């Protein structure tokens, strides 16, 4: 018992505590494992995010369906990662819309069919407030960019947005971040294998 009262032992215990804390907290870029966001899938079924994806490794990107260039490029890169993975079991591909007002479940369903995405892909939307809260928590920027700059109520807009791909571990913690449309699939696959 005397060991635990010496200055050296106290220092050792503090160092061990800090090292343990560093190993757990610093592994996650963003930890949403204990949070819950009510989202909707393409068939309008409720999704509890991220809980419903726990036990899987998930790739998460962000898009809107009226985006003609960059977002389909991100979707194509997600598809490339899926194709290049030798084993896709327990891997989920999630695309979350920046634009919940226009991207209803049925619109996302059309997009999913147009780009021939299989059932490993979830395209998720929600009510605008929930989506805003989630995007803010995930440090994703999205802002409407009106075609007619005077008519701010118009539904005719594009979006300025982050270009981010996240890797989420089986506990629901964001572990890696990539530039979504240009990251080489091999880099992401290497990190997926590390998490497995």
Partner 1 sequence: MILSIRGCTFFPFFLLLFWGCSSEPSDDRKPDSGDIELTDVWARPGSQGSASSVYFQIYNGREMTDTLREVSSGEAGMAELHESFEDEEGISEMRRVENLVINPGERVHLQPAGLHIMLMELTRDLTPGDSVEITLEFVLQGEKSLTVPVQMQP
CA–CA separation, 51 and 126 (whole Å): 16
Shortest distance, position 85 Cβ to partner 1, whole Å:
18
Residue 36, SS3 per DSSP: coil
Location of structure tokens 């369903």: 109
Shortest distance, position 136 Cβ to partner 1, whole Å:
15
For partner 1, give the closer residue by CB, 116 or 129.
Answer: 116
CB 149 within 8 A of CB 45: no
CA–CA separation, 134 and 130 (whole Å): 6
Shortest distance, position 190 Cβ to partner 1, whole Å:
22
Instruction: Give the torsion sign (CA, 111, 181, 174, 89).
Output: positive
For partner 1, give the closer residue by CB, 35 or 177.
Answer: 177
List residues binding partner 1 (CB under 8 A): 65-70, 72-73, 76, 110-111, 114-116, 141, 145, 158, 160-163, 179, 181-182
Shortest distance, position 111 Cβ to partner 1, whole Å:
8
For partner 1, give the closer residue by CB, 47 or 180.
Answer: 180
For partner 1, give the closer residue by CB, 66 or 171.
Answer: 66
Location of structure tokens 């990107």: 61
């Amino acid at each position: 018992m005397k060991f635990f009262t010496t200055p050296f032992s106290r220092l050792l215990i503090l160092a061990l505590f800090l090292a343990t804390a560093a190993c757990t907290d610093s592994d996650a870029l963003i930890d949403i494992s204990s949070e819950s966001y009510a989202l909707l899938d393409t068939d309008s079924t409720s999704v509890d995010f991220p809980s419903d994806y726990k036990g899987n490794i998930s790739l998460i990107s962000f898009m809107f369906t009226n985006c003609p260039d960059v977002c389909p490029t991100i979707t194509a890169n997600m598809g490339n990662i899926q194709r290049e993975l030798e084993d896709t079991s327990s891997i989920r591909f999630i695309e979350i819309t920046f634009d919940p007002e226009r991207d209803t479940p049925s619109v996302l369903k059309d997009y999913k069919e147009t780009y021939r995405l299989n059932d490993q892909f979830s395209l998720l939307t929600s009510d605008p407030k929930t989506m805003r809260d989630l995007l803010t928590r995930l440090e994703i920027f999205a802002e409407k960019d009106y075609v007619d700059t005077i008519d701010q109520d118009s539904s005719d807009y594009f979006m300025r947005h982050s270009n981010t791909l996240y890797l989420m571990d089986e506990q629901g913690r964001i572990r890696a971040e990539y530039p979504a449309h240009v990251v080489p699939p091999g880099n992401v696959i290497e990190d997926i294998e590390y998490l497995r």
